[in-house]
Each structure stands twice: as structure tokens, then as C-alpha cells.
Amino acid sequence: MIFKHTRRLSVEIDGYIKYISVVSATIDHVYPFTVPTASIVVPAGNELYDYISDVGFDAIVRLQVSTTYSNTEKEVFIDVFEGRVVNVQSQFGDTTASLICVGHAHETAYTILVELVSQVDSGDVGGLLFTLNSLLYRTQFMLLEDVDYFSWVYNAEANKKYIKDVMTDIEAASGYTYYFDTQTTYNANQTLKDVNIVFAPIPSTVTNSYAVIQGNPWLLSANFTVTGDNLYNDIWYYGGTNSVQSQYVGHYTDATSAAKYNTRTLVGTDNNFNSNAICTQFSTNMIPYTKDLKITGEVTLQGIENVRICDYVHVKIGNIDVQGASLDAYMHVVRYTQNLAENEYTTNLQFGKVQKSPSDYIAEFKNNNGKISKCMEKKLLKY
């Protein structure tokens, strides 16, 4: 059990570091790509001293936590949030102030494309990210040498998309088997050196930082659901019309799922589908994501500092029944929330698969139609 946890806020001001105590904080990070956010409550000061007079908009901050399990253990602070301040909220007569912060990737949310960006011209996703780097100042996309980035037909018009929108398009085109995450490096005096945004395969190695195991005292609560919402095993998709005004249509049924759950039909339309073959192929590619029940869950643990989005976690809870068996699975974190209340520290994790939209299936269909690398092909087969 946790003996003590200590929290502090590191603030970079004019090349030096200032530490401020933290009253409470909440951090939230979601996949597919969103910019992490944090609300951090700090002492505002008193008549003699103002703790945050030099902490304003755009200040670089690191929320740090040290957790110890005995009174002899040395404090080691770990970053649980890194980013910048966007708002400072304070109230007359109150002794605290709230710092509303965003992750360093926030630059991608206000930087717009100033010219046409084409996936075809770039060659692959790596080339596209390299092109986007010319638009960024505070952050840069870091390309991994051992990753075989994939290609697909893509165009983004100038002044119509922010870089974050392109990033969500890229994750969708990967079939949600890749993700964006931020990696930072610091100078010897702890001031910020580099901010890199990494595009990498979803982890397939189980994290050794934590697990969700019944009997472990860190597990406070768990709630899992086997849901049949959006379960379809018989898909009909209509497209546009041909020269004789006959509408294109395609159809696919998964016989195994239909025998198990009865026939459950989904009918959709996309006027951009210009042949029966495309409609059929779309229905076929959509079936694997709709034909089975989905397991989703939410757990609360005592504070875990080393949580990352898309962590691959062992979940084993004997008292939760999933289709006639105790829950024992390996699942990805699609959302985490760190809650540092005044006297406690908990971590909420959400597990599950991303619910795909029709546009995501279209992108994946294009990938499966011969425009995907061998590396991505293996990932799609695995997931």
C-alpha cells in the first residue's frame, strides 16, 4: 500500500526552474489522438507572497509525483503530465488558483495547413509527417527507423485542416493499429530541450509497470461490460448510381456470427462508392469489426505514475464473468485519468477497442486494396 505520495509542479521561467506545491490535479488523455489536458490547483499566495505571479499563459510545466511505500524510501519524482499553461483561474478571497494546461502536442491543434498536402506526393506516412514538420516550431514529428510506414491516397487542402486533423486521419487509416504519443527531453538544468511526437505501432508487449489483478491491493474497483450494441453480421452497402440510374450495392454475411447471434443486418449508403465491387469489398472489410461482442471496461487503481496511452495491460479479475469465464485478458488503455485529490491519488483506466466510423473502414479498404506495407499488413492480421 502507498505510504505517502508527494506532488509538485515544475515551472520553467526564463531558463530556470521553479517548484510549486500542488493542492490537487486532474489529468485526462484519450485515444484516438487528442491533446492531453490537466487542471492543476496550486496555492495562489497571501498578503505577503504571490506564488504564481510569474506563472502565466504559455509557461512550460511538468506535474510530478513521488510515491513511497515506507518511511525509509527515498522520494523520486516522475512526470505525470508535461505541457503548457493556457488559462489561469483565480477568485478574489481564495488562496488557490487553477492552472488549465494542455500537452505539448497542442501546437498541432492551432497550426493549420497553409498549402495542399498530398499523401501521394509524400510516398508514405513518414514522408507526410516530414512535410508537416516544416509547419511546426515547438514540436517535431520523430520518425522511427525500424518502422515500415504505410501509404494510402490522401489529400488535405490548404486552410481547411489543422495538423491534429491530419493526425487523426492517419490513425484511422492505420486501422487504429498505430498511435501518436509525445516524447520530451530536458537539459541538465531540467529546462525543456526537445518535444517529439512519435507515430508508432500500438504496443504488443505487456507493460511491466502495472497490471490489473484481483487481489492486488492497488485495485480499488472494476466494471466491465460485454456489449452487443452495434453487433452486425449481415451488411448491405449502397453506393452511387450508374449511367442507367441503377444504384450500386454490395453485401456480405458472416455465417458463423449469424449462426451464433442470429442474422443482424446493417444497411448503409455512400454515394462515393462507384461500383458493386467497392460496395461488396467495403461490406466485407467492415464485418470483422462488427460481427462479435465487444468487451469494454473501466478500473480504478491507487496512483500509478507510469501510465501511457495505449498501454497493453494484463487484466485478470476472477469475480467478473465474461461469457461464462473469469476475465483474464490483455487489453489496451484507450483513456486514462489521473486524479490527485487533496489527500489521495487514484488512476482511472478505460479499456476497449476504438469504435470505427464508416470513413475509417473506407481508409482501411484502400489499404487492403494494395496500398499497404508488409509491416501494416501483419498488424491488421494480428488485430
- CB neighbours (10 Å) of residue 271? 11
Sketch the domain layout of the chain as residue ranges.
Answer: 4-103, 111-202+356-382, 212-227+296-351, 234-289
Confidence bin at 47 (pLDDT 50/70/90): low
Whose cell is 489499404? That residue is: 367
162: DSSP letter: B
- The pLDDT of residue 119 is 58
Q: Which of 170, 171, 200 lies closest to 311 in space, CA to CA?
A: 200
Q: Which of 150, 367, 358 lies closest to 272 in space, CA to CA?
A: 358
- The pLDDT of residue 280 is 85
Structure-derived torsion over alpha carbons of residues 143, 149, 155, 158, reported in degrees to the nearest 10: 0
The predicted-structure confidence for 8-30, as pLDDT tens digits, reads as follows: 999 998 889 999 999 999 999 99
Three-class secondary structure of residue 137 per DSSP: coil
Three-class secondary structure of residue 322 per DSSP: strand
93: DSSP letter: T
CATH architecture, range 4-103: Roll (2.30)
β-pairing, 234-241 vs 265-269, is parallel
- Residue 43 near residue 21 (C-beta atoms within 8 A): yes
The predicted-structure confidence for 250-262, as pLDDT tens digits, reads as follows: 999 999 999 999 9
Whose cell is 485526462? That residue is: 28
The predicted-structure confidence for 63-109, as pLDDT tens digits, reads as follows: 999 988 777 888 899 999 999 999 998 877 678 899 999 999 999 99
